[in-house]
């Protein structure tokens, strides 16, 4: 199982950014996919998750600003991040849990700063 995230970016507050994650080695449509973030000095935490049936859940801090979606045909999960804030600065990781265990992407840095 392999997860590869798109590149992050340095952006100003208030702008939007879209992260994508390409999966391989799994029957993608069967599994939930998630995005986590880890800020300096903090533990990794859930940002958003989407189940195989399309049910979504979000951290309170991103509700109304971030949207997770999936494209089963392309084996990709995306995170649309709008109205970015400095406190969104973190390394973002794609995640899935399959019958072979938990897999993480390599992580991508998102920095929100003026």
The per-residue pLDDT for 99 is 87
Dihedral of alpha carbons 9, 46, 39, 65, sign: positive
Burial bucket for residue 34 (CB in 10 Å: 0-12, 13-18, 19+)? buried
Give 100-109 pLDDT, tens digit per residue: 899 999 999 9
Give 30-57 pLDDT, tens digit per residue: 999 999 999 999 999 999 999 999 999 9
Cα within 13 Å of Cα(76), Cβ side: 13
Intra-chain end-to-end CA distance of the chain, in Å: 37
The per-residue pLDDT for 13 is 97
Candidates 54, 34, 52; CA nearest to 44 is 34
């Amino acid at each position: 199982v392999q997860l590869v995230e798109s590149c992050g970016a340095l952006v100003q507050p208030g702008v939007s950014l879209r992260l994508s994650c390409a999966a391989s080695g799994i029957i993608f449509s069967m599994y939930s996919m998630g995005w986590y973030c880890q800020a300096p000095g903090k533990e990794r935490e859930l940002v958003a998750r989407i189940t195989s049936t399309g049910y979504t859940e979000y951290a309170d801090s991103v509700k109304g600003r971030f949207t997770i979606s999936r494209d089963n045909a392309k084996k990709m999960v995306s995170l649309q991040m709008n109205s970015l804030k400095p406190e969104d600065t973190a390394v973002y990781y794609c995640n899935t849990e399959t019958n072979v265990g938990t897999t993480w992407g390599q992580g991508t840095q998102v920095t929100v700063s003026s």
